[in-house]
Amino acid sequence: MENTRSSPHTAAQLPNSSSSYLGMLGGGQLGRMFVHEAQALGYKVLVLEPEADCPAGQAADQHIQAAYDDPAALAKMATLCASITTEFENVPASSLAWLAQTRFVAPSAACVSIAQNRVEEKRFFSRCAAETGIFPAPHAVIASVADLDAIGEDLFPGILKTARMGYDGKGQVRVKTLDELHEAYANMDGVLCVLEKMLPLAYEISVLVARGADGEAVVYPIAENVHREGVLFTTTVPSPHVSPEAASQAQQAALKLIADIDYVGVLCIEFFVLQDGTLTVNEMAPRPHNSGHYTMDACMSSQFAQQVRAMTGLPLGDVRQHSPCVMLNILGDVWFDGETLRSPAWDQVLALPSAHLHLYGKAEPRPGRKMGHITFVASSMEQAQADLRSACQLLGISLRAEK
């Protein structure tokens, strides 16, 4: 655990009473878990989300069903809420900026804007690299067809990514040649993109950090991630492979990055560990993160509790991990046996001694859709891994996964 303080951030409008409403832009599962933590501390939560039956809206004290940029909805949120946050980065930054004129908003529109655009994100990481010592992958910005022919052979093979709206492997295409790059860019309708060189990746880690309005910051243990088809499959904490030196470098870099933009709230930064043991910074999420769900069951304070604390001016919680754990994402696939809809064997899963099941309240299971997660928290990593294997067998999930 790391705890640092820097110059205070002005936050005159932080709520001083747990009777105040907290506002949440977004109605997904991250918002739902935030609602539960906020209510545990006595706060009421208002969710603004256009979808009617959304996970966060089911749990919230009030749900405004409207677009994120609806003027009347934003005005109502500003009237009722003392402090406002978001559960995903693709809400309009302009809405956050408007709300911040009269209410405390964390993270700020400026911080969210960086994470919304891969071009700005790469520029931010590159600017901070002199201090952090960790660079993003070699890359090039592609704004038009004319930019394609200026791409050097040294960036191949690479991954073409849309600058905006990409997540869980969406908006990404692997390319090996300039001809493939031309084809992929045409299929993306010529939107702003970034071409990243593919590096010799050993594995991915993520660093979860939280910062308060007073400059206090805490960083969680290193999480090691495995992906399947671009979607997070498992997270293991503590990381079984990262060296102490690389872990410290990543944690210190996260603290420097979050302080550089005067960020308030929870931020997740993903790093790649290369085959030679060096680090490269991949991307950041200005919110709680899928890879941080383990904190709900294996740490003294969860990432969602930290989000509540940061936006209400409460002291940040202890980030100590009390037990080894593995988190397994549950996708809608486990509800299907071929084309037949079935009920997963939750009773057998919950008979496993280390299993903590979290379902998100989504009515319709679909293949590839995140429906919940299971955290296996045990006295040893061996036991947690054994229960993970048992749960996968019970749910029909193959343990073979890509990195």
158 assigned ligand-binding residue: no
DSSP character string of 120-183? HHHHHHHHHHHHHS-PBPPEEEE-SGGGGGG--GGG-SEEEEESSS--TTTTEEEESSHHHHHH
Residue type present at position 24 = M
227 assigned ligand-binding residue: yes
The 8-class DSSP code of residue 332 comes to G
307 assigned ligand-binding residue: no
170 assigned ligand-binding residue: yes
Please state, in angstroms and rounded to a whole number, the distance separating the CA atoms of residues 148 and 364. 41
Other Cβ atoms within 10 Å of 232 Cβ, number: 22
Provide the token pair at 385.
């891994």
403 assigned ligand-binding residue: no
282 assigned ligand-binding residue: yes
364 assigned ligand-binding residue: no
339 assigned ligand-binding residue: no
123 assigned ligand-binding residue: no
180 assigned ligand-binding residue: no
256 assigned ligand-binding residue: no
296 assigned ligand-binding residue: no
| Cβ atoms 33, 304 nearer than 8 A | yes
179 assigned ligand-binding residue: no
Length, in residues, of the chain: 403
What are the CA-CA distances from residue 368 to residues 123, 200, 235, 311, 399 (Å)?
Answer: 32, 27, 17, 32, 16
42 assigned ligand-binding residue: no
Please state, in angstroms and rounded to a whole number, the distance separating the CA atoms of residues 1 and 324. 15
3 assigned ligand-binding residue: no
Please state, in angstroms and rounded to a whole number, the distance separating the CA atoms of residues 56 and 44. 12
Give the annotated binding-site residues for ATP: 118, 161, 166-172, 196-199, 204, 227, 282-283
Give the annotated binding-site residues: 118, 161, 166-172, 196-199, 204, 227, 282-283
